[in-house]
Structure 1
Amino acid sequence: MTRLTTIRGSAAPLPIDNLDTDQIMPKQFLRIIDKAGLADGLLYDRRFDERGAPRDDCVLNQRAYANATVLIGGANFGCGSSREHAVWGLQQYGFQAVIAPSFAEIFYSNAMNNRLLLVQLERDAIDALTREASETPGTLLSIDLERQTVTSGSGNRFDYAIGARHKRMVIEGMDTVDLTLDSLAAIEAFEQRHFARHPWAQVM
């Protein structure tokens, strides 16, 4: 898989704290046996009213943010149920990264396992990025995955932390199975040493 070292594009501001996965991907869009069509369900109740008409006040319905590849969210983004469909829907809609003050733990793991980059920044940095994206729609934002930096269109730069394992997973396009297979030689070497010391433990 192609290495992903930079994400560059416009950002859509959605500064809503505790935005849960039930809102990100409503239950009626989970009745599928594959991942197809989840973009239609993304934040459906925020994008459309009870008649199915687009809500003008939803940022995702505004033309200026039509091609956004980064979503700027609020604290505890992705809380609620563990549905992986929320991650798939964000990706199908075109988002490559979500920037927020904090993320729910299960959502964080689901996202990183599917190569959706999650960037956690301090609230002041989030407020600055949200303000810029709101005041200047379409302004470009750049995320350097190797240097772990976010640079706004105005030149503001913020550093973010990420674990080495998750960083490698996103850059290399690996999931947890790939990581295990990549360590197969070390696993087999450990197994040989272990049973050499404890031969009685080996199942024949």
Structure 2
Amino acid sequence: MDKFTKLTGVAAPLPVVNIDTDMIIPKDYLKTIKRTGLGKGLFAEARYLDDGSVNPDFVLNKPAYQNAKILVAGDNFGCGSSREHAPWALLDFGIRCVISTSFADIFYNNCFKNGILPIVVSPEELEKLMDDAQRGSNAVLTVDLESQEITGPDGGTISFEIDAFRRHCMLNGLDDIGLTLEKASSIASFEKTNEQSRPWA
């Protein structure tokens, strides 16, 4: 998993509440267990018209937001089913951070396991960030996980809270496998001792 220390990028506004995982990545794209290639299906029902052509009115299809790295979204983001394909699709598209007033618990946890930083802010702070995000190509935010601050295009800052353990994992690029590998020497030592003391096992 890639480390998340400081991210500077265009923020796309998505002022919709209750965006569920089926909207994030429709069921038609769940036939794979690969984490790559799902970016094309991100918000597919909104990004594409019935004939398969690109919907020019959807925010991520607009030139200013096609390379967005941050998503500023409405309340209760990621509700619905627990599909891990949702954060996979966001990450494959290039989104490394989602900001909202609340997240569904399973989606929130899945984000950390896949290198996406979900940030909870107050409704007033979200309104300010949504306004910043609506500036098109000038909608550049900097998310600093070490200092736990979001800096807007006008230089204003918003502080956010992240659980210390999750913050440590994100800063160091540690997913569940990475955490286990941190203990590799201890595991090897235990296995060696166990083999010597219990050769029959």
Normalised by the length of structure 2, the TM-score is: 0.87
Count of residue pairs the alignment pairs up: 189
Name structure 1 gaps, 5 residues minimum.
188-203
Q: Distance in 2 between matches of 1:2 and 1:77?
A: 23
Residue 46 of structure 2 aligns to a residue whose secondary structure is: helix
More displaced, 178-187 or 72-81?
178-187
Q: Distance in 2 between matches of 1:33 and 1:106?
A: 18
Conservation of the 8 A alpha-carbon contact between 2:65 and 2:136: no
Shift of 1:147: 0.5
Provide the residue aligned with 1:155 in structure 2.
155
Provide the residue aligned with 2:191 in structure 1.
none
Provide the residue aligned with 1:195 in structure 2.
none
Residue 17 of structure 1 aligns to a residue whose secondary structure is: coil
Q: Does 1:99 align with 2:99?
A: yes
For 1:19-168, list aligned pairs within 5 A.
Answer: 19-168=19-168
Q: Distance in 1 between matches of 2:149 and 2:185?
A: 34
**Which of structure 1's runs of 4+ aligned residues deviate more than 4 A?**
183-187
Shift of 1:176: 2.5
Render the CA deviation track for 1:136-191: whole Å, top value 9, x for unaligned.
4433110111010000001121000000111111111111243345367899xxxx
TM-align CA RMSD = 2.0
Shift of 1:133: 1.6
CA 1:183–1:11 in structure 2 vs 1: closer, same or farther (change >3 Å)?
A: same
Provide the residue aligned with 2:7 in structure 1.
7
Provide the residue aligned with 2:178 in structure 1.
178
Q: Distance in 2 between matches of 1:33 and 1:4?
A: 24
Residue 54 of structure 2 aligns to a residue whose secondary structure is: coil
Render the CA deviation track for 1:71-125: whole Å, top value 9, x for unaligned.
1111110011111111011011011111111111000111101111111111111
Conservation of the 8 A alpha-carbon contact between 2:4 and 2:115: no
Conservation of the 8 A alpha-carbon contact between 1:24 and 1:43: yes
CA 1:2–1:40 in structure 2 vs 1: closer, same or farther (change >3 Å)?
A: closer
More displaced, 175-184 or 123-132?
175-184
